[in-house]
Amino acid sequence: MSQNPQDSNSYDYNPEYSNLNEQNGQNQPGQYGQQQYQQPGQYGQPMMVPVGIVQKTPEQLAGEKAAQTSMVLGIIGLVCNFFVSWWLFGLPSLILGVIGIFKANEAERYGAAASAGRIMSWINAVIGGLYLLFLGGGLLMLVIAGAASSSSSSHFAELVSALALF
């Protein structure tokens, strides 16, 4: 088939092209060189591809996936801070925060922005670390104080008891 429907070639087998050639040949003298537009429903000009639709590379897709994962882990970690971390010494939020930070770094290596996931993950890591430090450390001090009070070393028991109260 020919590339231009205005040129009639002998190897055009589509009768639609000959109709288009006849319509385009009837231009008025004042409209020399202008093409007539077709009504919707007829074939002719190809459709335009929307500007926002562009094929993404696998690296861009991996970066966006890592950025989304970082944000989801940040949100789940913030929820864990209020409901689960009290009983588990902050370990869930600390673990989710660290994994979220790694995922945000991976996303930025691929060129995707992951600042929201990075911020939430850092908040989770800090809060989880503080839970672990205070709740876990306090429980550890109480266990040591209980073990030391039953032993014969009273100086060590007083020192651990003072640290546990601090």
Contact between 121 and 78 (Cβ < 8 Å): no
Q: Are residues 76 and 156 in the same domain?
A: yes
What is the pLDDT tens value at each position of the chain, 166 positions in all? 545 555 555 555 666 655 665 555 554 454 555 555 555 555 666 666 666 677 888 899 999 999 999 999 999 999 988 888 777 888 889 999 999 999 999 999 999 999 999 999 999 999 999 988 888 788 887 777 777 666 556 666 666 666 666 6
Q: Are residues 8 and 70 in the same domain?
A: no
Sort residue 89 into left (φ over 0), alpha (ψ -120 to 50) or beta: left
Domain that holds residue 147: 60-165
Tokens of 91: 């370990």
Q: Are residues 29 and 94 in the same domain?
A: no
Domain count, the chain: 2
Q: Which of 9, 35, 33 is nearest to 23 (CA)?
A: 35
User: What pLDDT digit, counting tens, does each position of 42-80 carry?
Assistant: 566 666 666 667 788 889 999 999 999 999 999 999 998
The answer as to whether 96 is a domain residue is: yes
The answer as to whether 120 is a domain residue is: yes
Alpha-carbon distance of 93 to 66, in angstroms, equals: 18
Q: Are residues 67 and 123 in the same domain?
A: yes
The answer as to whether 49 is a domain residue is: no
Neighbouring residues of 31: CB distance < 8 A, sequence distance ≥ 6: none
Q: Are residues 141 and 73 in the same domain?
A: yes
Q: Are residues 104 and 35 in the same domain?
A: no
- Burial class from Cβ neighbours inside 10 Å (0-12, 13-18, 19+) for residue 81 reads buried
The answer as to whether 45 is a domain residue is: no
The answer as to whether 67 is a domain residue is: yes
The answer as to whether 150 is a domain residue is: yes
